[in-house]
């Protein structure tokens, strides 16, 4: 903002400006004093408003910097600004003067108004004094009378109380009559302190009377509490009143709970009836229905009653929840106990489901009444155990069934039943026991899963796991049982009861064979089927939170049973060969086998004897063949082509080996031929070993030679591996030659004739 | 690869059934073996393993009058041994002394110290007490047990006592407890009988059929190993004879003989008629956990078979551990082949 430079600022204008600035901004001069020097030195055109404004300096600066035109313009600007400022100044002065005048007027008015105030104040004080004195006078005159009135009032109150106490018994009686027990209790408790203080002296009679009345009241109240017909509210009130009368409510409570427990016991009995009834459903679907529905209704009613009672007690007795919870849990527990008993009796899953459903509805009902008891959780736990028990139970029953099948076999063999194919029947039966049994059990478990009730839905995951685990354990047990059955294990004392029928270590060889076949069957058919079933229904796919991995490991079981199968097969072979070896040994140890003198007549004795022995031997082979043939045929039919290929491979392998060295002890396949061949080979080897122990004379040697020749033609039909058998037969001959003092072989024609004679004789 | 290629072989002229370690020879590893030939003249071979262990040298070759069914070397005199022999119907047992004719292989005659000629039925075997010098000898025939008192210097043998095992028990062999000079185990058809030589009575028996051979564990008292016809090898604790402590699968055919290693505990050698020799290592079981291991052994036991020597042409009927070098054993197959093997490569690393 520029300032007119044409007009030099005179002394007056400067003074005026200072005055104004000191009036409107009093701190300005002191504030602007300090930067004075700087302003003088660095003066610009903007410093016109500063206090240290140097007009001459400003002028010089302006003249130096601006041209004429600008100077003229500045001049015009400044002139108009100065004019404006002058007008403003004038207005300000006028306004201030006006204010001053009005202030003077006000002061003048005030001076006039204050006069006469003092007198009025004095008057007021005087009047106040007189009022006070008068009121004091009234007070003193009324004091005596008022005291009297107060005393009278006290007396009246006392009298009224006494009257009340004297009236109490009648009043209580009246209350009893009208059943207004609440009032009565109120009155009595009101009078209680007085009775306590003066009850032994002045109010003795009164007290006795009212106590009698209260006694009646208590009795009535108690009756009310115990009566089920009264409304819950009334009973609750009664309990409250009794409590106010210092009556021992706890004992009451105990009594009531005892009653409730008794009720629970009765209920339990009814429940059992229901179980029986529901068990009957399966056997007698037509007759049982009515019975069941009736008993079910009864059960429902009693549960309702129980729930009502619980609700009532919960309202009636404060702080009784823990006990009630306990009662409710007892109920659930009892129901599950009953369920467990049923489970032990091998009930089917439908029954279990029915039971669980009933329990669950009961629990839901109770839960409505007692929400705090966490009954569903409790039930869940119990149900978990029940389902688990059920699964284990079912599987152990299955095991029992299988062992039953085996005991039947044993029994059959003991009695010597003349059945055509006892082993086949046994095998079929046990096979059926395994596969059908496990399928049934699985189906049963399936029902468990298909059930839509809330309880079981929650249990689903666990159930699946348990089913898997249960089967795993089941097969382990079957494995142990087989071991035990075949006398391979001495340890499983806890399962001893399973094989009570088995006589010590005398296990029939046929049984071992059946077991071996069964192992094979389990490995090849049962396990895949069960695995499939489990995978389709019981895999834990939909279940969250189970990180244990699958409990059912079919590979492991397969492995176990494959090993078992092989082991039992070997055991069977061992038993058979042992038997044959024993027969052979007996033959050799007969004293007249080798005798130097015995040539003539005895040779003839030995001949039929020896033949008979051989015959017997082939017989024993033959008998095993027939029984085994039927047993094995099925498994052979069902066996896949791969196994056939495998046995063919084995044959080829054998043939190759044969060129270098006779391989006698090959791995046994699970086929009829293989088993028989193995037995045969082992028997012939035993024969060879036994021959090596003996010393023969000529007739003995010839006898052996004849026997071998006979065996050659007979065994051809039986054995699979002809080459090996021939080799072994030759070995026997060779061994006999070595151990003979006089080895003169029979002429081949004689040999043939003798063999043919024998053959025709046996065929007849 | 197996058996023969690693072992050192030696061929006898005829078939043979028995081989014995010469225990008293502390300077060399030697074995005695005798042939079993019905028609030819039988021989007794004294074989010595060369110091390098690469060769079997015949130290002595002696003719023996009859075929030899059993042969046992005297544990305290290397020149004395016993044989059981037969020819046709006759049988006998004798104690022989090798004449001092070292280096000459001209079939010198064996000197017969004593004949054990009190037997009336077929003699099965003659036992020396395995641990040391003892003036008694046990001989077993099918029916009886004889205790002989022998004096090798005076060359006499007298029956000290004799007891019949009973008509129905056909004895087949036996073993003398190395820990107890009075205990002998005899195998018969249906059981193993444990005898006390002082009373000459059966003290106990293991009811187990078809036992073919029996051997006491030389390292561990009360331990007995049996070999059966069919079901392999069983290890028994004599204090608990009801159930075996442990069981080994044995051989494909009969397990003929079984021998415990004299030095390493649990090391068992077995031979069978399947022309194989198997080396087993039984994990040591403490007495307390014996039952537990029985229960759980099928699942957690490690494979006990260390090695199977299968390079034999015929059944192997006898084995002998060398007591001087206990990692060496000799096996004899029926075709008269002696194979000496070292088990060192098959021992588990420790």
Query: Which of A583, A403, A547, A396 shows the shortest CA–CA distance to A483?
Result: A403
Q: Which of B142, B298, B300, B334 has the highest number of chain A CBs within 10 A, making it the mutation to test binding with A?
A: B298
Q: Which helix (H) or strand (E) holds A330?
A: helix A321-344
More confident residue, A54 or B57: B57
Q: Which range in A567-576, A600-609, B114-123, B319-328 is most confidently predicted, on average pLDDT? A: B319-328
Model pLDDT for residues A296-309, shown as the tens digit of each residue: 666 667 777 777 77
CB of A52 within 8 A of CB of A40? Answer: yes
Mean pLDDT across chain B, nearest whole number? Answer: 81
Using CA atoms, how far apart are residues A662 and A655, in angstroms rounded to an integer? 9
Using CA atoms, how far apart are residues A303 and A176, in angstroms rounded to an integer? 36
3-class DSSP state of B321:
strand
Which residues, in sequence order, are CB contacts of A485 under 8 Å at separation 6+? Answer: A406, A499, A502, A507, A511, A515
Q: What would the two tokens of residue A588 be? A: 């050799």
| Of the partner residues A491, A574, A695, the one whose CB lies closest to the CB of residue B38 | A695
Q: Hey, is the C-beta of A347 within 8 angstroms of any chain B C-beta?
A: no
Residues of B with a Cβ under 8 Å from any A Cβ are: 15, 38-39, 86, 88-89, 170, 210, 229-231, 243, 252-254, 273-274, 291, 294-295, 298, 315, 334
Model pLDDT for residues B124-154, shown as the tens digit of each residue: 888 888 887 888 888 888 888 888 888 878 8
CB of A585 within 8 A of CB of A622? Answer: no
Q: Does the beta-carbon distance from A685 to B273 stay under 8 Å?
A: yes
Q: Does the beta-carbon distance from A581 to B229 stay under 8 Å?
A: yes
Query: Which of A262, A261, A243, A264 shows the shortest CA–CA distance to A252?
Result: A243
Using CA atoms, how far apart are residues A224 and A247, in angstroms rounded to an integer? 14
A622 has a pLDDT exceeding 90: no
Nearest CA in chain A to B299: A560
More confident residue, A646 or B74: B74
B326 has a pLDDT exceeding 80: yes
> In A59-82, which positions are buried (b, 16+ CB within 10 angstroms) versus exposed (e)?
eebbeeebeeeeeeebeeebeeee
B16 to chain A, minimum CA–CA distance in Å? 11
Tell me what pLDDT residue A94 has: 92
CA dihedral B122, B125, B129, B132 (to 10 degrees): 130
B86 has a pLDDT exceeding 90: no
| Of the partner residues B89, B210, B294, the one whose CB lies closest to the CB of residue A491 | B294
Nearest CA in chain A to B232: A574
Q: What would the two tokens of residue A146 be? A: 């008022």
Tell me what pLDDT residue A4 has: 43
Model pLDDT for residues A638-678, shown as the tens digit of each residue: 333 333 334 444 444 444 344 334 444 555 555 666 667 77
Which residues, in sequence order, are CB contacts of B116 under 8 Å at separation 6+? Answer: B82, B92, B93, B94, B95, B123, B126, B137, B139, B146, B148, B157
The structure tokens 């009695």 sit at A415
Q: Which of A685, A694, A727 has the highest number of chain B CBs within 10 A, making it the mutation to test binding with B?
A: A685
Q: Does the beta-carbon distance from B88 to A577 stay under 8 Å?
A: no
Tell me what pLDDT residue B266 has: 83
The per-residue DSSP string of B192-238 comes to EEEEETTTTEEEEEE--S-EEEEEE-SSSTTEEEEEESSS-EEEEET
Using CA atoms, how far apart are residues A666 and A669, in angstroms rounded to an integer? 9
Q: Does the beta-carbon distance from B273 to A739 stay under 8 Å?
A: no
A664 to chain B, minimum CA–CA distance in Å? 8
A41 has a pLDDT exceeding 50: no
A629 to chain B, minimum CA–CA distance in Å? 24
A85 has a pLDDT exceeding 70: yes
Give the number of A-B residue pairs with CB atoms closer than 8 Å.
47
Q: Does the beta-carbon distance from B274 to A692 stay under 8 Å?
A: no
Using CA atoms, how far apart are residues B262 and B219, in angstroms rounded to an integer? 7
| C-alpha to C-alpha distances, A37 to A40, A41, A107, B134, nearest whole angstrom | 5, 6, 49, 140
Chain A positions in Cβ-Cβ contact with residue B170 (cut-off 8 Å): 589
Q: Hey, is the C-beta of A491 within 8 angstroms of any chain B C-beta?
A: yes
Using CA atoms, how far apart are residues A5 and A56, in angstroms rounded to an integer? 9
| Of the partner residues A682, A738, A739, the one whose CB lies closest to the CB of residue B253 | A682
Model pLDDT for residues A506-524, shown as the tens digit of each residue: 556 666 777 777 777 777 7
The per-residue DSSP string of B35-88 comes to E--SSSPEEEEEEEE-TTSS-EEEEEEEEESSEEEEEEE-SS-TTEEEEEEEET
Strand partners, B138: B127, B147
Question: Mean pLDDT over residues B75-101, rounded?
Answer: 83
Band (pLDDT 50/70/90 cuts) for residue A595 is very low
Tell me what pLDDT residue A728 has: 80
Chain A positions in Cβ-Cβ contact with residue B334 (cut-off 8 Å): 692
| Region of residue A137 (left: phi > 0; alpha: psi -120 to 50; beta: else) | alpha
Domain boundaries, chain A: 11-111, 160-244, 249-373, 392-563, 594-763
| Strand order, beta sheet including B8-11 | B8-11, B337-342, B328-333, B316-321
Chain A positions in Cβ-Cβ contact with residue B211 (cut-off 8 Å): none
Tell me what pLDDT residue A607 has: 29
| Of the partner residues B38, B230, B295, the one whose CB lies closest to the CB of residue A739 | B38
What is the gyration radius of the CA atoms in chain A, in angstroms? 61
B36 has a pLDDT exceeding 80: yes
Chain B positions in Cβ-Cβ contact with residue A575 (cut-off 8 Å): 230
Which residues, in sequence order, are CB contacts of A81 under 8 Å at separation 6+? Answer: A1, A2, A3, A4
Q: What would the two tokens of residue A505 be? A: 């270590």
Chain B positions in Cβ-Cβ contact with residue A490 (cut-off 8 Å): 243, 294
Using CA atoms, how far apart are residues B146 and B163, in angstroms rounded to an integer? 7
Q: Hey, is the C-beta of A665 within 8 angstroms of any chain B C-beta?
A: yes
More confident residue, A327 or B282: B282
A44 has a pLDDT exceeding 70: no
A421 has a pLDDT exceeding 50: yes
More confident residue, B236 or A482: B236
Q: Hey, is the C-beta of A576 within 8 angstroms of any chain B C-beta?
A: no
Q: How much is the ipTM here?
A: 0.78
Question: Mean pLDDT over residues A452-474, rounded?
Answer: 71
| Of the partner residues A581, A596, A739, the one whose CB lies closest to the CB of residue B89 | A596
Chain B positions in Cβ-Cβ contact with residue A693 (cut-off 8 Å): none
Eight-class DSSP state of A696: B
CB of B129 within 8 A of CB of B75? Answer: yes
Chain A positions in Cβ-Cβ contact with residue B273 (cut-off 8 Å): 685, 689
Tell me what pLDDT residue A191 has: 75
Band (pLDDT 50/70/90 cuts) for residue A267 is low
Chain A positions in Cβ-Cβ contact with residue B274 (cut-off 8 Å): 664-665
Q: What percent of chain A has pLDDT over 90?
A: 4
Nearest CA in chain B to A689: B273
- For A406-432, give the secondary structure using H, E and C: HHHHHHHHHHCCCCCCHHHHHHHHHHH
Tell me what pLDDT residue A80 has: 93
Q: What would the two tokens of residue A614 be? A: 């051989």
Domains in chain B and their CATH numbers? 13-164 (2.130.10.10), 172-274+276-309 (2.130.10.10)
A739 to chain B, minimum CA–CA distance in Å? 7
Model pLDDT for residues A223-264, shown as the tens digit of each residue: 777 766 666 667 677 777 777 777 666 677 777 767 767 766
CB of B137 within 8 A of CB of B148? Answer: yes
A392 to chain B, minimum CA–CA distance in Å? 23
Tell me what pLDDT residue A264 has: 66
Which residues, in sequence order, are CB contacts of A54 under 8 Å at separation 6+? Answer: A39, A40, A43
Band (pLDDT 50/70/90 cuts) for residue A365 is confident
A303 to chain B, minimum CA–CA distance in Å? 51
Tell me what pLDDT residue A89 has: 92
Q: Which of B273, B297, B308 has the highest number of chain A CBs within 10 A, making it the mutation to test binding with A?
A: B273
Q: How far does Cα B340 stand from its chain's mean position?
A: 16
Tell me what pLDDT residue A423 has: 64
Interface of A with B in 669-688 (CB under 8 A): 682, 685-686
Tell me what pLDDT residue A409 has: 67
Chain B positions in Cβ-Cβ contact with residue A696 (cut-off 8 Å): none
| C-alpha to C-alpha distances, A468 to A293, A441, A543, A564, B282, nearest whole angstrom | 36, 12, 14, 22, 37
Nearest CA in chain B to A742: B39
More confident residue, A33 or A136: A136
Tell me what pLDDT residue A90 has: 92
Model pLDDT for residues A275-286, shown as the tens digit of each residue: 554 444 433 333
Nearest CA in chain A to B39: A741
How buried is A28 (Cβ within 10 angstroms: 0-12 exposed, 13-18 middle, 19+ buried)?
Answer: middle
A624 has a pLDDT exceeding 70: no
Tell me what pLDDT residue A663 has: 46
Model pLDDT for residues B159-206, shown as the tens digit of each residue: 888 888 776 678 888 888 888 888 889 888 788 888 888 888 888 888
Tell me what pLDDT residue A605 has: 31
Using CA atoms, how far apart are residues A287 and A444, in angstroms rounded to an integer? 24
Q: Which range in A43-47, B166-170, B217-221 is most confidently predicted, on average pLDDT? A: B217-221
More confident residue, B101 or A188: A188
Q: What would the two tokens of residue A87 be? A: 């007008």
Nearest CA in chain A to B170: A589
B336 to chain A, minimum CA–CA distance in Å? 14
Strand partners, A110: none
Q: Hey, is the C-beta of A692 within 8 angstroms of any chain B C-beta?
A: yes
3-class DSSP state of A135:
helix
CA dihedral A57, A59, A60, A61 (to 10 degrees): 80
Eight-class DSSP state of B307: E
More confident residue, A446 or A652: A446
A685 to chain B, minimum CA–CA distance in Å? 8
Question: Mean pLDDT over residues B7-30, rounded?
Answer: 87
Q: Which range in A83-92, A377-386, B97-106 is most confidently predicted, on average pLDDT? A: A83-92
Using CA atoms, how far apart are residues B25 and B210, in angstroms rounded to an integer? 35
Q: Does the beta-carbon distance from A594 to B89 stay under 8 Å?
A: yes
Q: Hey, is the C-beta of A581 within 8 angstroms of any chain B C-beta?
A: yes
Mean pLDDT across chain A, nearest whole number? Answer: 67
Using CA atoms, how far apart are residues A54 and A47, in angstroms rounded to an integer? 9
Q: Does the beta-carbon distance from A738 to B210 stay under 8 Å?
A: no
Q: What are phi and psi of B64, to 5 degrees?
A: -130, 135
Question: Mean pLDDT over residues B309-332, rounded?
Answer: 88
Q: What are phi and psi of B58, to 5 degrees?
A: -80, 115
Tell me what pLDDT residue A420 has: 46
Chain B positions in Cβ-Cβ contact with residue A589 (cut-off 8 Å): 170
- For chain B, give the secondary structure using H, E and C: CCHHHCCEEEECCCCEEEEEECCCCCCCEEEEEEECCCCCCEEEEEEEECCCCCCEEEEEEEEECCEEEEEEECCCCCCEEEEEEEECCEEEEEEEECCCCCCCCCCCECEEEEECCCCCCCEEEEEECCCCCCCEEEEEECCEEEEEEEECCCCEEEEEEEEECCCCCCCCEEEECCCCCCEEEEECCCCEEEEECCCCEEEEEECCCCEEEEEECCCCCCEEEEEECCCCEEEEECCECCCCCEEECCCCCCEEEEEECCCCCCEEEEEECCCEEEEEECCCCCCCCHHHHHHHHHHHCCCCEEEEECCCCCCEEEEEECCCCCCEEEEEECCCEEEEEECHHHCCCC
């Amino acid at each position: 903002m520029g300032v007119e430079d044409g007009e030099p600022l005179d002394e007056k204008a400067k003074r005026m400006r200072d005055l104004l600035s000191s009036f409107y901004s009093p701190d300005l001069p002191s504030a602007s004093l300090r930067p004075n020097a700087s302003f003088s030195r660095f003066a610009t055109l903007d410093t016109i408003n500063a206090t240290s404004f140097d007009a001459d300096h400003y002028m010089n600066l302006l003249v130096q910097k601006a041209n004429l035109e600008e100077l003229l313009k500045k001049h015009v600007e400044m002139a108009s600004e100065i004019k404006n400022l002058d007008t403003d100044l004038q207005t300000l002065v006028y306004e201030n003067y006006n204010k001053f005048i009005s202030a003077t007027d006000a002061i003048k008015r005030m001076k006039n108004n204050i006069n006469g105030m003092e007198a009025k104040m004095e008057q007021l004080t005087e009047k106040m004094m007189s009022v006070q004195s008068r009121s004091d006078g009234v007070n003193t005159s009324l004091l005596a009378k008022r005291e009297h009135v107060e005393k009278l009032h006290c007396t009246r109150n006392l009298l009224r109380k006494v009257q009340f106490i004297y009236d109490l018994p009648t009043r209580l009686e009246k209350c009893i009559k009208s059943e207004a027990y609440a009032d009565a209790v109120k009155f009595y408790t009101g009078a209680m302190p007085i009775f306590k203080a003066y009850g032994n002296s002045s109010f003795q009679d009164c007290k006795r009377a009212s106590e009698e009345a209260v006694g009646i009241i208590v009795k009535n109240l108690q009756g009310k509490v115990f009566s089920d017909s009264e409304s819950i509210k009334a009973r609750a009130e009664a309990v409250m009143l009794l409590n106010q009368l210092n009556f021992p409510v706890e004992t009451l409570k105990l009594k009531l709970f005892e009653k409730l427990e008794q009720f629970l016991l009765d209920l339990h009995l009814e429940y059992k009836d229901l179980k029986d009834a529901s068990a009957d459903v399966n056997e007698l679907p037509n007759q049982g229905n009515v019975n069941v529905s009736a008993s079910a209704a009864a059960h429902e009613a009693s549960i309702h009653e129980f729930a009502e009672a619980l609700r009532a007690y919960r309202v009636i007795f404060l702080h009784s929840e823990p006990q009630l919870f306990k009662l409710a849990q007892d109920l659930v527990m009892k129901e599950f106990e009953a369920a467990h008993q049923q489970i032990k009796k091998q009930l089917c899953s439908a029954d279990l489901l029915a039971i669980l459903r009933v329990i669950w509805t009961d629990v839901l009902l109770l839960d409505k009444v007692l929400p705090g008891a966490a009954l569903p959780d409790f039930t869940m736990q119990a149900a978990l155990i029940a389902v688990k028990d059920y699964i284990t139970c079912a599987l152990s029953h299955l095991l029992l069934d299988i062992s039953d099948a085996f005991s039947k076999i044993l029994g059959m063999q003991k009695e010597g039943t003349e059945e055509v194919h006892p082993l086949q029947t046994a095998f079929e039966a046990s096979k059926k026991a395994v596969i059908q049994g496990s399928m049934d059990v699985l189906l049963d478990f399936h029902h468990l899963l298909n059930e839509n009730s809330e309880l079981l839905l929650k249990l689903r995951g666990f159930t699946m796991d348990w089913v898997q685990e249960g089967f795993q354990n089941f097969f382990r047990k079957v494995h142990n049982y087989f071991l035990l059955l075949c006398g391979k294990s001495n340890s499983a004392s806890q399962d001893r009861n399973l094989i009570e029928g088995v006589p010590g270590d005398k296990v029939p060889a046929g049984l071992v064979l059946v077991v071996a076949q069964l192992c094979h069957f389990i490995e090849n058919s049962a396990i895949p089927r069960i695995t499939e079933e489990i995978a389709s229904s019981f895999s834990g796919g939909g279940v969250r939170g189970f990180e244990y991995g699958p409990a059912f490991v079919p590979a492991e079981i397969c492995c176990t049973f494959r090993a078992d199968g092989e082991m039992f097969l070997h055991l069977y072979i061992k038993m058979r060969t042992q038997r044959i070896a024993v027969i052979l040994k007996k033959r050799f140890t007969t004293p007249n086998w080798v005798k130097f003198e015995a040539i003539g007549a005895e040779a003839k004795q030995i001949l039929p004897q020896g033949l008979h022995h051989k015959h017997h031997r082939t017989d024993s082979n033959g008998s095993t063949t027939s029984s085994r043939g039927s047993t094995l045929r099925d498994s052979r039919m069902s066996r896949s082509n791969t196994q056939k290929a495998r046995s063919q491979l084995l044959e080829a392998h054998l043939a190759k080996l044969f060129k270098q060295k006779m391989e006698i002890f090959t791995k046994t396949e699970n086929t009829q031929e293989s088993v028989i061949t193995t037995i045969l080979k082992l028997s012939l080897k035993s024969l060879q070993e036994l021959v090596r122990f003996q010393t023969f004379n000529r007739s003995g040697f010839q006898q052996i030679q004849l026997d071998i020749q006979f065996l050659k033609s007979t065994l051809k039909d039986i054995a699979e591996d002809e080459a090996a058998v021939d080799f072994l037969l030759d070995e026997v001959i060779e061994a006999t030659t070595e151990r003979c003092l006089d080895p003169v072989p029979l002429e081949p024609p004689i040999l043939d004739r003798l063999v043919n004679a024998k053959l025709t004789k046996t065929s007849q | 690869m197996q058996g023969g290629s690693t072992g050192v072989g030696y061929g006898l002229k005829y078939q043979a059934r028995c081989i014995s370690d010469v225990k008293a020879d502390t300077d060399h590893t030697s074995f005695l073996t005798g042939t079993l030939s019905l028609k030819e003249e039988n021989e007794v071979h004294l074989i010595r393993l060369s110091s390098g262990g690469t060769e079997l040298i015949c130290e002595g070759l002696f003719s023996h009058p009859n075929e030899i069914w059993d042969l046992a070397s005297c544990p305290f005199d290397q020149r004395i041994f016993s044989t059981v022999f037969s020819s046709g119907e006759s049988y006998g047992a004798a104690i022989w002394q090798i004449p001092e004719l070292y280096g000459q292989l001209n079939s010198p005659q064996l000197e017969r110290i004593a004949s054990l000629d009190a037997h009336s039925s077929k003699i099965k075997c003659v036992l020396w007490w395995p641990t040391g010098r003892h003036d008694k000898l046990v001989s077993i025939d099918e029916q009886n047990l004889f205790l002989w008192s022998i004096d090798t210097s005076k060359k006499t043998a007298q029956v000290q006592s004799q007891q019949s095992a009973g008509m129905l028990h056909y004895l087949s062999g036996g073993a003398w407890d190395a820990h107890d000079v009075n205990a002998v185990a005899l195998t018969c058809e249906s059981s193993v009988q444990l005898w006390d030589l002082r009373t000459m009575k059966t003290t106990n028996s293991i009811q187990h059929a078809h036992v073919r051979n029996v051997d006491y564990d030389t390292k561990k008292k009360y331990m007995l190993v049996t070999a059966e016809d069919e079901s392999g090898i069983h290890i028994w604790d004599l204090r608990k004879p009801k159930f075996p402590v442990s069981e080994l699968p044995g051989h494909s055919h009969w397990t003929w003989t079984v021998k415990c290693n004299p030095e390493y505990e649990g090391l068992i050698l077995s031979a069978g008629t399947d022309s194989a020799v198997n080396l087993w290592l039984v994990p040591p079981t403490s007495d307390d956990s014996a039952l537990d291991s029985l229960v759980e052994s099928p699942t957690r036991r490690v494979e006990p078979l260390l090695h199977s020597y299968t390079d034999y042409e015929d059944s192997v009927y006898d084995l002998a551990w060398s007591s001087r070098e206990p990692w060496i054993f000799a096996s004899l197959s029926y075709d008269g082949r002696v194979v000496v093997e070292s088990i060192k490569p098959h021992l588990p690393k420790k």
